[in-house]
């Protein structure tokens, strides 16, 4: 956390005036920082979210001020309806801000963002549509109603919106999405597809594919981590046993996979063809570690295993292999993340969501140790 403080302050100090409202997104292999370009970039909430975690840990008002600056800058995303990622954007920034400060304006932003996200829900299929199909890759591939496993992460925004507003519609949409995804996104071994496309007339699954994984039938590592995190969070918010069971099935798959490296930082895809000479994805490791710590808190028969797995992962991510030295790595916290190899984006570089979930996992681990000692 001391290293993170040094890096994040350095990142803020180096933001050029042309990007003064938005934080860093990633960096090129040559170390040049690439910044978030607009409020609806799906990663725009992670940098302010990391700053909120620094305030959570250090209790120093300077971190609160930093977090407020970058959080308030992306408020207009609450009205965005063109993709599903408004949950990432607003929950990581305004959601954490409300949790830590009780700012009523932040609560209102969460509710408005949930209303925007809800416009993408179709009750005929019971799912939130991930991407519009009138342009870009979705149009090129002929998708009709694409839903990606990442979408599970946006449900926390909906659950919170019901708590904040008293409107159960948000909660019901989240539960429907989690239930239908559980039936359609997962293979018998409990690994998940990246994308399922549904027929816009019959509403049955017409294809199961990948965009960021190696192949349609492979297991893209960050996708497995999204699913683990999403169902763990859904159990926390609902208490529904089926979500706990699903989270444990995904976790057990993760813990026992034959291609999981000894240091517990997965290859970018568990079925990539050149293992063990494939790139690792530290962001997937951080997401999974954070989810496993929360899953362990539910005190099931496997809780100790989940917490031990998370600890091993955090030890690796905190080692010189993955953790930055002060001032290096373009002032990001961890190294060796993978955005999307098939689309040649952010390959073996730092990425802001890798930092966000790493910091979240560290704080969750600290809190779990305090709770266990008590």
Domain boundaries, the chain: 2-373
Q: How many residues does the chain have?
A: 374
CA-CA-CA-CA torsion sign (55, 61, 64, 70): negative
Q: Is residue 154 within 8 Å of 177, Cβ to Cβ?
A: no
- Say whether pLDDT at 324 is over 90: yes
The model's confidence at residue 18, banded by pLDDT at 50, 70 and 90, is confident
Q: What confidence score (pLDDT) does residue 374 get?
A: 67
**70 is written with which tokens?**
């970058």
State the Rg of the chain over Cα: 19
**305 is written with which tokens?**
């295993």
* Start-to-end CA span in the chain (Å): 23
85 is catalytic: yes
Coil/strand/helix, residue 338: strand
Which of the residues 30, 56, 60, 85 is marked catalytic?
85
**Alpha carbon distances (Å) from 80 to 39, 84, 87, 107, 138:** 9, 9, 10, 17, 19
* pLDDT 10s digits, 204-250: 999 999 999 999 999 999 999 999 999 999 999 999 999 999 999 99
CA 321 to chain centre: 22
| Residue from 290, 287, 268 nearest 365 by CA | 290
Which of the residues 150, 269, 271, 281 is marked catalytic?
150
Q: Is residue 157 within 8 Å of 110, Cβ to Cβ?
A: yes
Residue 347 backbone dihedrals phi, psi, to 5 degrees: -105, 120
How large is the average pLDDT for residues 192-209? 98
Coil/strand/helix, residue 282: helix
Q: What confidence score (pLDDT) does residue 21 get?
A: 75
- Classify domain 2-373 by CATH number: 1.50.10.10
The reply to whether the predicted model has a pTM over 0.85 is yes
**130 is written with which tokens?**
């991930």
């Amino acid at each position: 956390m001391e290293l993170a403080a040094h890096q994040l302050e350095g990142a803020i100090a180096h933001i050029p005036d042309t990007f003064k409202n938005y934080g860093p997104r990633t960096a090129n292999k040559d170390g040049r920082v690439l910044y978030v370009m607009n409020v609806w970039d799906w990663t725009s909430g992670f940098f302010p979210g990391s700053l909120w975690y620094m305030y959570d840990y250090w209790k120093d008002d300077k971190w609160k001020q930093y977090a407020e600056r970058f959080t308030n800058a992306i408020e207009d995303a609450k009205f965005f309806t063109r993709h599903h990622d408004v949950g990432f954007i607003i929950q990581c920034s305004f959601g954490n801000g409300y949790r830590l400060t009780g700012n009523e304006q932040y609560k209102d932003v969460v509710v408005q963002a949930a209303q925007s996200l809800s416009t993408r829900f179709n009750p005929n299929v019971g799912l939130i549509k991930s991407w519009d199909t009138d342009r870009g890759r979705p149009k090129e591939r002929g998708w009709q109603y694409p839903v990606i496993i990442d979408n599970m992460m946006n449900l926390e925004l909906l659950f919170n919106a019901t708590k904040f507003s008293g409107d159960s519609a948000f909660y019901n949409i989240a539960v429907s999405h989690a239930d239908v995804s559980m039936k359609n996104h997962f293979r018998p071994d409990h690994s998940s597809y990246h994308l399922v496309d549904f027929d816009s007339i019959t509403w049955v699954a017409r294809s199961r594919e990948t965009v960021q994984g190696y192949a349609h039938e492979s297991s893209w590592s960050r996708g497995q981590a999204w699913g683990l995190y999403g169902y763990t969070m859904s159990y926390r918010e609902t208490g529904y046993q089926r979500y706990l069971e699903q989270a444990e099935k995904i976790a057990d798959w993760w813990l026992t996979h034959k291609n999981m490296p000894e240091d517990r930082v997965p290859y970018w895809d568990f079925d990539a063809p050149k293992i063990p000479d494939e790139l690792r994805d530290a962001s997937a490791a951080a997401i999974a570690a954070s989810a496993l710590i929360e899953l362990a808190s539910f005190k099931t028969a496997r809780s100790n295993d989940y917490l031990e797995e998370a600890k091993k992962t955090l030890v690796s991510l905190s080692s010189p292999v993955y953790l930055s030295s002060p001032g290096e790595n373009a002032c990001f916290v961890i190294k060796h993340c993978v955005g999307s190899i098939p689309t040649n984006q952010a390959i073996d570089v730092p990425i802001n969501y890798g930092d966000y979930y790493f910091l979240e996992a560290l704080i969750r681990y600290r809190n779990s140790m305090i709770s266990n000692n008590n």
